[in-house]
Structure 1
Amino acid sequence: MKCIVGLGNPGKKYAKTRHNIGFMILDELVKQNHWSLEQTKFRGIYTTEHVNGEKILLLKPQTFMNLSGESLVQFMNFFDLEADDILVVYDDLDLPPGKIRLRKKGGHGGHNGIRNIIDHLGTKEFNRLRVGVGRPDGPVSVVDYVLGTFTKQEQAPVADSIDAAVKACEAWMTQPFNEVMNDFNAT
Structure 2
Amino acid sequence: MSDAWLVVGLGNPGPEYARTRHNVGQMVLDELATRTGGRFKTHKARAQVLETRLRPGGPRLVLAKPLTYMNTSGGPVAGLAKFYGIDPSRIVAVHDEIDIPFAAVKLKLGGGEGGHNGLRDMSKALSTKDYHRVRVGVGRPPGRMDTAAYVLKPFSSTEAKELPFLLDDAADAVEHLIDHGLLEAQQKFHARA
Question: TM-score over 0.5 for the alignment?
Answer: yes
| 1:61 paired to 2:72 | no
Instruction: Give the conservation status (yes or no) of the 8 Å contact 1:42–1:75.
Output: yes
Q: What residue number does 1:26 align with?
A: 29
Instruction: Give the conservation status (yes or no) of the 8 Å contact 1:17–1:149.
Output: yes
Instruction: Give the conservation status (yes or no) of the 8 Å contact 2:33–2:50.
Output: no
User: Once superposed, what is the RMSD of the aligned Cα atoms?
Assistant: 1.3
Which moved further from structure 2: 159-168 or 33-42? 33-42
Instruction: Give the conservation status (yes or no) of the 8 Å contact 1:97–1:158.
Output: no
| 1:165 paired to 2:165 | no
* SS of the residue 2:107 aligns to: strand
Aligned length: 187
* Deviation at residue 154 of structure 1 after TM alignment: 1.6
Q: What residue number does 1:43 align with?
A: 46
Which moved further from structure 2: 116-125 or 83-92? 116-125
What does the per-residue CA deviation read over 1:78-100, in whole Å, with 9 as the maximum and x for residues that have no partner? 11111111110000011111001
Counterpart among 86, 89, 102 of residue 84 in structure 1 = 89
| 1:5 paired to 2:46 | no
TM-score relative to the length of structure 1: 0.94
* SS of the residue 2:169 aligns to: helix
Counterpart among 123, 136, 143 of residue 138 in structure 1 = 143
Q: What residue number does 1:121 align with?
A: 126
* SS of the residue 2:62 aligns to: strand
Unaligned runs of 5+ in 2: none
Unaligned runs of 5+ in 1: none
* Deviation at residue 32 of structure 1 after TM alignment: 2.4
- Which portions of structure 1, spanning 4 or more consecutive aligned residues, are displaced by more than 3 angstroms? none
* SS of the residue 1:110 aligns to: coil
* SS of the residue 1:101 aligns to: strand
Counterpart among 155, 160, 174 of residue 155 in structure 1 = 160
